[in-house]
Amino acid sequence: MFGRNLNPVAAYADVGVAAKIKSATPHQLILLLFEGASSAISVAKLHIERGEIAQKGKLISQAIDIISNGLKASLNIEAGGKLAEQLAALYDYMARRLLSANLENNIAALDEVSTLLDEIHSAWIEITPDNSDS
């Protein structure tokens, strides 16, 4: 009657994410990107299992966008040197694997990217400024 039928849980989650982003440090923003990509991949797997192709495609595209235009774009190749170059190559690989997973409904490829993201995410958590000895 008054427009779109909004999902109140989704609206609440959107507000929560917006609040986190607004108050986040650059390091925390990177952590949020990892969490967003991982979440999108997890939900995409559920959509593959249910045969919900459009929703699966939307979430995999979202994960690719986060990895390519969030994580990879945040790299400073000049300052990060070889490590940043290797991460950029790894992010490119992940995006290609996600594209393949989308085209082939390949859960194993989604799991592979999830594992890679989790490993890098764990490393980012370890280097959180609050965890340093300095």
**pLDDT single digits (tens) 55-88:** 999 999 999 999 999 999 999 999 999 999 999 9
Contact 66, 37 (CB under 8 A): yes
Q: Which domains does the chain have, with CATH numbers?
A: 26-129 (1.20.120.340)
How far separated are the first and last CA of the chain, in Å rounded? 58
Closest CA to 119 of 39, 34, 41, 44: 34
Could you tell me what percent of the chain has a pLDDT over 70?
Answer: 79
Record the tokens describing residue 70, joined without a space: 């969030």
Is the pTM for the entire model greater than 0.85? no
Could you tell me what percent of the chain has a pLDDT over 90?
Answer: 72
Please tell me whether residue 105 adopts helix, strand or coil conformation.
coil
Residue 9 has pLDDT above 50, yes or no: no
Over residues 39-50, mean pLDDT: 96
Q: What is the pLDDT of residue 26?
A: 83
